[in-house]
Amino acid sequence: MADPTQTSLALPPFSTPPPKYEVFLSFRGFDTRKGFTDNLYKALIHHGIHTFMDAEQLESGEPVSTELFKATKESQISVIILSTNYATSTWCLNELITMVEPAENDESRLILPVFYGVTPAEARKQIGVHFEEGFAQHKKDFEGEPGEVARWKKSLTAIANLSGYDIRNYRNETMVIEKIVERIFGVLINTFSNDLKDFVGMDRVNKIKSNMSRIGTEEVRVIGICGMPGIGKSTIAKALSQRIRNQFDAFSFISKVGEISRKKSLFHIKEQLCDHLLNKQVTTKNVDDVICKRLCNKRVLIVLDNVEEFEQIDAVAGKDGAELSSRFGKGSKIIITTAYERLLINYNPKIYTIEKLTQDESLLLFCRKAFKKDHPMDGYQKLCYEFLDYADGLPLALEVFGNSLLNRSVEDWSSRLASLKDDNYSGKNKIFNYLKASFDGLENQEQREIFLDIACFFKGEDACRVEKIFESCGYYPGININILCEKYLVSIVGGKLWMHNLLQQMGREVVRGESKREGERSRLWLHTDAINVLKGNKGTDDVQGIFLSLPHPDKVHLKKDPFSNMDNLRLLKIYNVEFSGCLEYLSDELSFLEWHKYPLKSLPSSFEPDKLVELNLSESEIEQLWEEMERPLEKLLILNLSDCQKLIKIPDFDKVPNLEQLILKGCTSLFEVPDIINLRSLTNFILSGCSKLEKLPEIGEDMKQLRKLHLDGTAIEELPTSIKHLSGLTLLNLRDCKNLLSLPDVLCASLRSLQVLSLSGCSNLDKLPENFESLEYVICNLTSLQILNVSGCSNLNELPENLGSLECLQVLDASGTATSQT
């Protein structure tokens, strides 16, 4: 036998076969058969609930058949539809007795009355026209058997006193049926485990069950139920196994497989398996032989819950699909719940990923825990939804919060919510400890560091952009982010990095746990913590990242350089804070530097930015980045100096050879840029609002990747003919270039990818390109053009007649031109 002291919830094999029927329907045929009862029956069958619905083949008044009596006896739940003519049928009344009388001494039997066209009071007292006429006739027909009539009346009274469903209380019959099915399903899975008494999410179970039915009946298959920690994988596996276990010769559910393996051994898993499936005690020597020889002809259902390592599957199912098929009989199914679906790859598995609960499902589960009802109590509705927002569809959190709020006042709820937001709620520890097990189980420290960086700084950011920052930090983000996704700790949605709110908070809690002193923690994201460390010069070389963003602009004077002790600082963002005072040092480890309103004229001379991937000094006092740059910044991809109104000089372009984005918007003192630009990776070049810039640099042949060029609001007079090298350009913005006199004649021949051309406000554009008869001819050869804006081009006298040849053109704005006035 298995060790009785083990901590896992291991369900023994059922000593008796499950009931033949789960639900028995009792009804009056001509009242409800072709309507309500038939719809209820179909709904029950659809949800996989084995239901008996008598065809009512016998004439009314005949004794209840042996088959029918057996069906009522073997059904776990009876649904009695009390309609207007139910009590006129002795057949129905005899059925009623066979259900009610055994239930008086058997609490496991459940009876659900449905009052259809009659009220509970009428059934209880047998009043109303139909009951009174029916029983008047029964007294006559059974004049010599008064005891029989009394039994019927007693049974009706007992039924009417039960909690049931009064059709009058629902908007429509569909709603009643949904409630009945949900109640029955909940009762059925409750017989399997108390953990399921408040189960929510029947659709998920039914979807898996339905898809499993499409798998070949003889096929031995692994079914993976995967998802993030706390999402309800174990609960769904329990509910699913309850629905299908009667299709198998034997059944084993082994919970906390990973924990058993870590704290005891793999043998304990095999031992439980043999105990459940064979009722056989085994030893370490013969266990594998027993599994392979004794189970190969048995059709078994096995659930391995919370698997963490491949060896735990291998111990039961073998190393691959071939071994799996040889170990268990035809049609066997192995259900595995895990947060790491890659563990199943050897078995050709069918994977089901469990998503978080919907808002309606979350409310239902929360209310069942917090109120023991399916809906909020009066006065608690708003508070309920605030807790729901915090839990964000995670069943574990909903249950923990709901249980802690049971039988508490509105004031207590409000206090608990406030403490939750202030990170003082003790109930969060239970959630975080559960989630942290997956974090602790990561393969290496690098994966943990990446997870913590995302949790503290990069949730919601572009995945490709962040990966490049991680690469500069010395990480290998490709494989490691994939593993984090496979373990449901991180996801990529729409190209952006995401994680569940509670996973994010768990990660931040890990960082808080590094030290009681903020300056000795690896990451600072709360502005209160960050400003305290910087103002007090409390930073140490433990600090790897600081994101300081104040809710309102503020000025802070520094007596000492706060960064002088942070030699390992990799990530720094400062926003809405104007520092003054001592600032002389920046860590050479910086891969990401975003400092709005940087106060100095240049970056520190001692700073060696070899690892920088992004540099953003928007709205700063900077005049030039460095006085001298000894070697190229090979890793710099994004340079953003927007609205640096004192900037007069930018680095030579050959010093930033791999730049992808160059943003110089609003640099009003910048009057020149290097003569040549030939950045093969540049995709976005913005010079908007550089009002003193009169000349665009010559464009090299390698600039084919540039997609967007913004020159609006500059003082340029012409475009260089080398613009022909921008064959990949899709947007050219020349709005309000009032000094622009002409367009080069290479424009239409070379920029065949151009989709957006804005010439709005180019009021002096009157010199036509050489070799062309008109500006209109130039435009009409831009065959990919979708948006053309020539508004405010006052010298444009007419639009081309052949604009129709621009098949892609969707928007044309010619307002404010001479053509709009003719």
Q: How far is it, in rounded angstroms, from Cα 98 to Cα 211?
A: 37
In which residue are the tokens 């009058």 written?
168
Residue 687 burial by CB count (10 A; 0-12/13-18/19+): exposed, middle or buried?
buried
Contact (Cβ atoms closer than 8 angstroms) between residue 541 and residue 565 = yes
Count Cα atoms within 13 angstroms, Cβ side, for 405.
30
Q: How far is it, in rounded angstroms, from Cα 136 to Cα 685?
A: 94
HEC profile of 273-308: HHHHHHCCCCCCCCHHHHHHHHCCCCCEEEEEEEEC
Torsion of CA 570, 573, 579, 585, to 10 degrees: 20
Q: Is 95 a catalytic residue?
A: yes
Which candidate, 529, 578, 525, places its Cα nearest to that of 547? 525
Would you list the DSSP string of 736-754? T-TT--B--TTHHHH-TT-
Helix (H, G, I), strand (E, B) or coil at 818: helix
In one-letter notation, the amino acid at residue 82 is: L
In which residue are the tokens 């659900």 written?
112
Contact (Cβ atoms closer than 8 angstroms) between residue 108 and residue 77 = no
Which candidate, 295, 307, 306, places its Cα nearest to that of 13? 295
Return contacts of 122-127, CB within 8 angstroms, 24+ apart.
123/82, 123/87, 123/156, 123/157, 123/159, 123/160, 124/156, 124/157, 124/160, 124/161, 125/157, 126/87, 126/153, 126/156, 126/157
Task: Give the active site residue among 95, 122, 341, 594.
Answer: 95
In 3-state terms, the chain is what percent helix, strand and coil (to 5)? 40, 15, 45
Torsion of CA 791, 797, 799, 800, to 10 degrees: -140
Which residues belong to the active site? 95
